[in-house]
């Protein structure tokens, strides 16, 4: 693994910043630092995920530049809308563009290859006419950071809704857009006093245990958002070459799978910083009769991968995601659920026994 990649990022300083904020999503803690309060103000969707001071998995420094001219790095991906990804010698570059702000990027994220140290450059030229709309951490930057950081850990983001029953049983309902995630959320909230972690995007990861896996410290609980949830904070999780054997050991002896809420909600607008042990996974599809069909491990991996958020621009990210999903389906029962959009769909699950 390279030395401290922080020293390789333009504009990054070892001096403490005047202002900072921290948040945690899916067990990944992020610190953002800047010279003024506006630079580190969390967008409303991130406020419930705010956490106390501590060691952070991702460290971001916000810097302002007169303008952000094009940089001719190798382009890896074009979202077709707001952002493009480039690869440089020392890491990656995300450029964010919008016709509202002109032709040049209005902000640029420079990050090392392990997604631990980053500089977020904001363009004074772009925001000159919009001084009150500059939000450094606005979507999709927050999700891109977390999604890429998960490639360094045993974790993945899935297009799904996570529902925790009063007895603590955590059910994950996975589905493409339109498959019925928001409908499922409404049916369950009408039937029981459940906690909905998210109605659209859930992070699944292995629950760390002291002395196992890639993290060197014991997991600690820290205060979550205004609703009082606790968030599982874990530290020191780089997936360097030297940690591969530790990851292999973790797959054999590690903790159980856990699902986490995210800020990126769907139509039902549920977004909780809470988490729960993952008991069962259901792949949603519209059907008749509320039919449950157990999926084989191969089928389950294919279905989950098709509904995952994985950066496809590097084959090692894809390989790591597939390996982790194999671990998930080996440990958590996975079913196809052809359901009807009424309370019978909930009752079928409540009556179901593996």
Q: Which tens digits make up the pLDDT trace of 219-231?
A: 333 333 333 333 3
> Do 185 and 196 contact (CB within 8 A), yes or no?
yes
pLDDT at 146 over 50: yes
pLDDT band with cut points at 50, 70 and 90 for residue 100: confident
Q: Is the dihedral of CA 29, 31, 37, 41 positive or negative?
A: negative
- Count Cβ atoms below 10 Å from residue 285 Cβ, excluding itself: 15
| Other C-beta atoms lying within 10 Å of the C-beta of residue 263 | 24
Query: Are 283 and 337 in contact, with CB atoms under 8 Å apart?
Result: yes
Cβ 31 vs Cβ 22: under 8 Å: yes
Q: Which two tokens stand for residue 322?
A: 């597939």
What DSSP designation does 168 have?
S
Give the least confident one: 127-131, 227-231, 306-310.
Answer: 227-231
- Phi, psi (degrees; rounded to nearest 5) at 158: -120, 145
Q: What pLDDT is stored for residue 39 in this prediction? A: 93
Domains of the chain: 5-150 (no CATH), 154-207+256-351 (3.90.228.20)
Residue that is written with structure tokens 């977390």 in the block = 146
Name every residue whose Cβ is closer than 8 Å to that of residue 290 and which is 6 or more positions away in sequence.
Answer: 337, 338, 339, 340, 344, 345, 348
- The dihedrals phi and psi of 276, each to the nearest 5 degrees, come to -160, 155
φ, ψ of residue 192 to 5 degrees: the values are -140, 165
| Per-residue pLDDT tens digits for 5-26 | 444 454 444 556 679 999 999 9
- pLDDT at 108 > cutoff 60: yes
Cβ neighbours of 78 (radius 10 Å)? 11
CA distance 262 to 271: 6
Q: With 70 as the cut, is the pLDDT of residue 331 above it? A: yes
Portion of the chain with pLDDT greater than 90, in percent: 71
As a whole number, the mean pLDDT across the chain is 85
pLDDT band at 157 (very low <50, low <70, confident <90, very high): very high
Which residue did the predictor score with more confidence, 340 or 11?
340
Token representation of residue 313? 């621009």
What is the reported pLDDT for 230? 37
Which of 162, 130, 167, 194 lies closest to 278 in space, CA to CA? 162
| pLDDT of the residue at 298 | 97
Q: Are strands 220-223 and 230-233 parallel, antiparallel or unpaired?
A: antiparallel
pLDDT score at 153: 93
Query: Tokens 């997604």 sit at which residue?
Result: 115
Residue 170 CA to residue 188 CA, distance in Å, equals 12
Pairwise CA distance, residues 11 & 23, whole Å: 22
| pLDDT value at 131 more than 80 | no
Taking CA atoms, 208 is separated from 99, 198, 217, 275, in Å, by 44, 22, 9, 13
Averaged pLDDT, 127-136: 82
Is pLDDT at 248 greater than 70 in this prediction? no
Q: In the predicted model, is pLDDT for residue 73 greater than 90?
A: no
Beta strand extents in 100-200 (DSSP E only): 107-112, 117-123, 155-164, 170-174, 195-198
pLDDT digits 0-9 by tens, 167-193: 999 999 999 999 999 999 999 999 999
């Amino acid at each position: 693994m390279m030395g401290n990649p922080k020293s390789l990022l333009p504009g990054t300083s070892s001096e403490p910043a005047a202002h900072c904020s921290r948040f945690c999503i899916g067990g990944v803690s992020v610190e953002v630092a800047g010279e003024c309060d506006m630079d580190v103000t969390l967008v409303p969707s991130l406020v419930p995920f705010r956490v106390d001071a501590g060691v952070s998995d991702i460290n971001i420094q916000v810097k302002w530049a007169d303008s952000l001219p094009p940089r001719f790095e190798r382009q890896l991906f074009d979202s077709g809308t707001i952002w493009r990804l480039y690869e440089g010698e020392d890491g990656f570059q995300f450029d964010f563009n919008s016709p509202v702000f002109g032709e040049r990027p209005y902000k640029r994220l420079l990050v090392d290859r392990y997604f631990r140290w980053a500089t977020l450059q904001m363009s004074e030229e772009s925001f000159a006419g919009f001084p009150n709309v500059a939000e450094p951490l606005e979507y999709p930057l927050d999700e891109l950071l977390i999604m890429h950081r998960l490639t360094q850990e045993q974790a993945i983001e899935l297009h799904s809704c996570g529902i925790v029953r009063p007895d603590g049983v955590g059910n994950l309902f996975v589905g493409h857009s339109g498959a019925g995630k928001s409908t499922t959320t409404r049916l369950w909230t009408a039937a029981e006093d459940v906690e909905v972690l998210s109605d659209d995007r859930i992070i699944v990861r292995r629950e760390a245990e002291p002395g196992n896996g890639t993290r060197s410290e014991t997991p600690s609980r820290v205060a979550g958002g205004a609703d009082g949830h606790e968030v599982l904070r874990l530290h020191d999780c780089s997936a360097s070459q030297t940690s591969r054997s530790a990851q292999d050991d973790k797959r054999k002896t590690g903790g159980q799978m856990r699902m986490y809420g995210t800020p990126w909600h769907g139509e039902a607008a549920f977004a909780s910083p809470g988490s729960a042990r993952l008991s069962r996974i259901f792949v949603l599809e519209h059907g008749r009769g509320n039919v449950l069909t157990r999926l084989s491990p191969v089928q389950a991996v294919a279905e989950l991968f098709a509904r995952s958020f994985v950066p496809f621009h590097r084959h090692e990210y894809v390989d790591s995601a597939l390996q982790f999903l194999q671990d998930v389906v080996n440990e958590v029962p996975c079913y196809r659920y052809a359901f009807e959009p009424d309370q019978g769909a909930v009752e079928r699950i409540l009556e179901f026994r593996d």
